Amino acid sequence: MTTTLHPTNATPRRGLPPLLSLSEAAVARLRRLYESGEEGRLLRVSVGTKGCSGLSYQMSWVAAPGPGDETITQDGVTVLIDRQATLFLIGTMMDYREGALESGFTFVNPNEKGRCGCGESFHV
């Protein structure tokens, strides 16, 4: 005797948030970088092991997407995401901030459970 189950009230699947979104400031900064010294290259975001919390955001310029890289295009700006970083980055927003003494890209990641005191690394 074989029993087949047919769900009558299947719950609809919830969509995943975007893998990575870019703030207006990040788009503007990347556009300037792509138009100047990094013309013809792409920014690749990955996550590596580093620091006291274990993980860190890493960015590098590459000539072309690698095998398995995810491609994010927003407002005409393209960023590559290392496939191994995707689970750590789902729903993350990449921002660019300028301060009196420093400037740079920052990440607002809902998956982070904590950061180290210096801010260089995080854990999920």
pLDDT digits (tens, 9 = 90+) for 29-72: 999 999 988 788 999 998 877 655 577 788 999 999 999 899 99
Total number of domains in the chain: 1
Q: Which domain holds residue 110?
A: 20-123
Give the CA diameter of the chain. 74
**What does the pLDDT look like over 70-115, one tens digit per residue?**
999 999 999 999 998 888 888 999 999 988 888 888 888 887 666 6
Which pLDDT value is given to residue 43? Answer: 94
Domain presence at residue 11: no
Domain presence at residue 8: no
Closest residue by Cα to residue 48 from 40, 38, 58, 39: 58
Domain presence at residue 4: no
Could you count the other beta carbons within 10 Å of the beta carbon of residue 70? Answer: 16
Which pLDDT value is given to residue 56? Answer: 79
CA–CA distance, 34 with 80 (Å, rounded to integer): 13
Domain presence at residue 119: yes
Domain presence at residue 97: yes
Domain presence at residue 86: yes
CA 32 to chain centre: 19
Domain presence at residue 108: yes
For 116, phi then psi, to 5°, come to: -75, 165
At 56, which CATH number?
Answer: 2.60.300.12
Domain presence at residue 1: no
